[in-house]
Amino acid sequence: MRKHKLAGIVAGVATIALLATACSGSDDPKGSDPTSTDKSSGGAAQVSDKVLTVGMPNGPQKENNNPIGPNSSALSLGYAFAVYESLMQVNEIKPTDPPTPWLAQSVEWNDDSTQAVITARDGVKWSDGTPFTAEDIAFSLEIRRDHDEINADFPGQYKDIKVDGNKVTVSFTDGQFVNQAKLYKLLILPKHIWESQDPVNWSDPKMVGTGPFVLKSFTAQSVTLTPNASYWGTKPLVGQLRYDTFNDNAGLTTALTTGEAQWGWTFIPDYENVFIAQDKENFHQVAGGGFGVDVLFLNNEKAPFDNVAFRKALNLVVDRADISTTAGYGVWPQIKSVTGLPQPSGDAFIAPDYQGKELSVDLAAAKQVLTDAGYTWDSGNKLLDPSGKKVSFTLTNPAGWTDYIDALNIVKEGAASLGADAKVETPPVDTWQNQQINMGDFDASLHWTDGGSTPWNMYSNIMDGASYVAKGKSANWNFGRYKNDEVTKALADFKSGTSDADRQAALNIVQKHFVEDVPGLVIWSRPAVAQYSTKNYTGFPTDEDPYANPQPTGPQAALILSKLTPSDS
């Protein structure tokens, strides 16, 4: 797990519901009314006095409870999502499922997804007793439109925002089919409090929200929340919710294995022995699906990766099965399709030309690709490019990211089988993030992509010319500086498409170039992983019932907390 990813998952992951015109459904994903306090057929259950501790490996925090502000403690630790709520609940584990109404009773889109009509839920109050209205929704959109610093999801894309009774109509500059879930997941703020504040820099000391919990206390190491007595939905049975922060992943792993923390998420190598075995009855790890992947970004503008033949050859010798088993301990599933799509989520989107075609290690085929492109080998079996220069490159990822570093070393072995010299370097996180991967100052480096309920985010993050910037300028995506006008247009066509057929036609073009141009190497899929203990509370998402992303750091936290009941132990 990468610590700096936490806030990004909050604001930037595009999880898209496949609804072209309307989003509605039962008020509860399991068929019950979220306004009910009845947790069982026996009637209302009692609030427990047991503490539920969420652990995060983010180090000491400075008090900043702003749920939309950059780098706030509320987003870093995740407690923002127990106090503030989103318009809809999106199940990132089943990304093609329709969203569940939450603060919005419904969201209806026009045919080209340039306009959404949001109907506010009736009967909701802010924790200070003020009624929640459509004005709060409109205000929450307007402040994002008016402040670029907090508008990562729709930069420059908001147009008119209008209120009519309990409905808000928001218009966009272009089609938002692939970004619908970004709208659903936006946290909504109380206009009567925030309209007099600087939304970017205000620390929000009291946290007046609509969510199931309210803020009780803050320290640099621990934040405590208590139930919101006037909560509109299913009343929480968790008597006290605490968010503890640990210095690093090892500290959080220890806290989870000792029971000091009962809910969190981190990469635990050999998790079955290190974590599960410590309490087989109560300790659990779950991982969901989706379209998120980790990609070995190749610098398409720098040797040796400026030659498509070498990119193709390397793709043919990277042992993804070994990477998944050895570096990912089986937690991160192997990518098999030549399209890079994770399965089964991506099965319905694979172009006809690539159905059933899988990646495999084929050294002979890789060497033939190189030979055909003018590569040769010297007397020491070292690979020489068409100009006669020895082929070498550096694989880069931050120190301490053990799953990534182990994966890079397996990639290095594949390169060696071609006669190419590769080395692995492990710079500090800040250097990698702020000077290398984003600025184009690297040869090859692993990085995640956004998820979603379509493959658009994955391919756009890797290949979209709309994200291209020259080396030396900071890139948000397309770190490998791949440029292809046909791909850029196809991605735009997919985003603005009004039918499944139109979108698939555009996607077929994208996949053709992904396979033939190899702009980057998708290494493994990146499902949402969480660890939890059922010693105090049960009702978390499970492999058998994946009703939500199991992690505590997202809008789904409000839903999960509504499902938890005290255990019998």
**pLDDT, tens digit (0-9, with 9 covering 90-100), for 473-528:** 989 899 999 999 999 999 999 988 889 999 999 999 999 999 999 999 999 998 88
The residues of the chain scoring below 70 in pLDDT are: 1-44, 569
Cβ-in-10-Å burial (0-12, 13-18, 19+) of 469 comes to middle
Fold of 46-83+211-288+529-568: D-Maltodextrin-Binding Protein; domain 2 (3.40.190)
pLDDT for 34: 57
Q: How many residues does the chain have?
A: 569
pLDDT for 495: 87
Q: Where in the chain is the domain with CATH 3.10.105.10?
A: 293-525
pTM over 0.85: no
Specify whether the CB–CB gap between 402 and 331 falls below 8 A: no
pLDDT for 52: 98
| 329: Cα within 13 Å, side-chain hemisphere | 12
Q: Where in the chain is the domain with CATH 3.90.76.10?
A: 85-200
Q: Say what the alpha-carbon torsion angle 313, 314, 319, 320 is, to the nearest 10 degrees.
A: -110
State the pairing for strand pair 392-396/444-448: parallel
Among candidates 238, 241, 212, 236, which has minimal Cα distance to 224? 241
pLDDT for 163: 98
Q: Where in the chain is the domain with CATH 3.40.190.10?
A: 46-83+211-288+529-568
For residue 221, what are the CA distances in angstroms to 97, 203, 263?
37, 17, 16
Specify whether the CB–CB gap between 263 and 79 falls below 8 A: no
CATH 3.10.105.10 fits 293-525, yes or no: yes
User: In this prediction, what percent of the chain has a pLDDT beyond 90?
Assistant: 77
Specify whether the CB–CB gap between 309 and 317 falls below 8 A: no
Answer CATH for 85-200 from 2.40.50.180, 3.40.50.1820, 2.40.50.140, 3.90.76.10: 3.90.76.10
